[in-house]
Amino acid sequence: MSAAPDPAAFQAEPAAKALADRFTRAFGTSPAGVWQAPGRVNLIGEHTDYNEGFVLPFAIDRAARVAVGPRADSMVRLLSTYGDQGTVTASLDSLEPGSAKGWTKYPLGVMWALRERGIDVPGIDLLLDSDVPLGAGLSSSHAIECAVVTALNDLTGAGLAAEDMVLATQRAENDFVGAPTGIMDQSASLRGAKGHAVFLDCRDQNASLVPFETEPAALVLLVIDTKVQHSHADGGYASRRASCELGAEVMGVKALRDLQVGDLEEASGLLDAVTFRRVRHVVTENDRVVQTVERLSAEGPGAIGALLDASHASMRDDFEISCPELDLAVDTARANGAIGARMTGGGFGGAAIALTPVAAEQAVRAAVVQAFAVAGFTAPDIFTVSPAAGARRVG
């Protein structure tokens, strides 16, 4: 293991310094550093990632932070600022899929995945803090994983490129946590940049930054957290993925990425009705991602509203991953001035996004809150997000 980075070489951000101080109080020693990784909003491109397609997420200005200190033994001590959960202790030598519960499965999964790659991961003390909303579809779990993998990459001197860290965190998700997710969330968190979305080809990890700044266009991007909790490690997500794999097999292609909109007529005659709808969503969503990138580059964010609307309709009707709260949020936002809105994330709950003129922001916020109250739903949390920098050391 290489020497730990010199904390004096960094100008710690205030939140990082506060976390480092809290780490010192909790563990009795100073951390080697503090690292953070952002959550993400997927602007468009849902359930296309594991079909080797295109996605357009961006890192947001809400992040998970970890203060980390290496240990001389193989023990791991994990503590979170969230709630009164106490310190969780584990041994590196006992890590295996299914051996961890709660939030600790994300850092432990990353450690397991890195060790599976042959990286000499030491025991560590770790303190987690995060302001990424839990269960809102903003990838709070991947933010934790990306912060941890960034920290361990630095501390071990492994020299992993972003692409390698993406695959390590995907393995942690798939094989340790047990969630059959793709690579979109990690890629946004690790490769994001301020003022840009990440146009990612999930087949080969080729990524390019696309300008996405709402302020010059007098727009804001509202996130409407419905407070409906969702989980990727459940049957709904897995069944959608199985339908996609079946569709690709019947159509004789490696992945649904290889189908074009013009192939859907043939697909309708070969697939059962449910599988066809799943396939139609993925194929048309890929097309919408490409169109969104073209419009952002040529005309700016004011030109993508109709594509966001079409994406939500496809997820609601063809992929069937929306819910009444998400539909109400989207419909109400659109009716009160948003130029486009859609659910974001894996579905079955979580958040919607609404691209909204600054002049209509307060009207949209008020209307959504009122609509949820009338429907008897839990009050939503509504806030704005902006594209932010990706995972990095901050203290």
3-state secondary structure 253-278: CCCHHHCCHHHHHHHHHHCCHHHHHH
- Pairing of the two strands 340-344 and 351-357: antiparallel
Q: What residues contact 358, with CB distance under 8 A and at least 6 apart?
A: 218, 219, 220
Query: Which residues, other chains included, contact 251 with Cβ-Cβ below 8 Å and sequence gap of 6+?
Result: 259, 263, 266, 267, 270, 271, 279
Place of tokens 């293991």: 1
Beta-ladder partners of 340: 355
Query: Mind telling me the catalytic residues?
Result: 185
Comparing CA positions, the residue from 182, 289, 316, 286 lying closest to residue 238 is 182
- Alpha carbon 346 to its chain centroid, in Å, reads 9
Helices 235-251 & 273-298 angle (0-180, nearest 10)? 90
Identify whether the C-beta of residue 123 lies closer than 8 Å to the C-beta of residue 76.
yes
| Residue spans of beta strands (DSSP E) within the chain | 33-44, 54-70, 75-80, 88-91, 124-130, 196-201, 207-211, 219-225, 340-344, 351-357, 381-384, 392-393
For residue 357, the SS3 value is strand
